[in-house]
Amino acid sequence: MKLLARAREASVPHACVGTDSGYGKYLSFRTQLREWNEPYILGVSPNDLPVIPESTPIEEPGRGSRRGRPPSEPRYFEDVIPQSPVEISAGLDEED
């Protein structure tokens, strides 16, 4: 992260940050890139990629439960349990 911070300070021209899954697995790394508004493409392992069912209701930004600040990004409700692609594929028949 220090190297990227130094590159940003020096205004090194670039289109995006790209890494393998060695860096892509760290939420803190991805979070920092988003805070910097850096475009990125990172490798992730299937276990690090949560998937929610397509039928999951999504709460739109600006709406909320009237408790606290309304969400600024779409989100799903807390009772949904994300699964990894590995877990999903283990539950499929070969014919699916």
* pTM for this prediction: 0.51
Average pLDDT over residues 44-62: 77
> CB neighbours (10 Å) of residue 45?
13
* Least reliable range by pLDDT among 11-15, 21-25, 37-41: 21-25
> What's the Cα-to-Cα distance from 79 to each of 49, 51, 52, rounded to whole Å?
18, 14, 11
Residue 88 has what pLDDT? 78
Residue 80 reports pLDDT greater than 90 = no
CA atoms within 13 A on the CB side of 56: 17
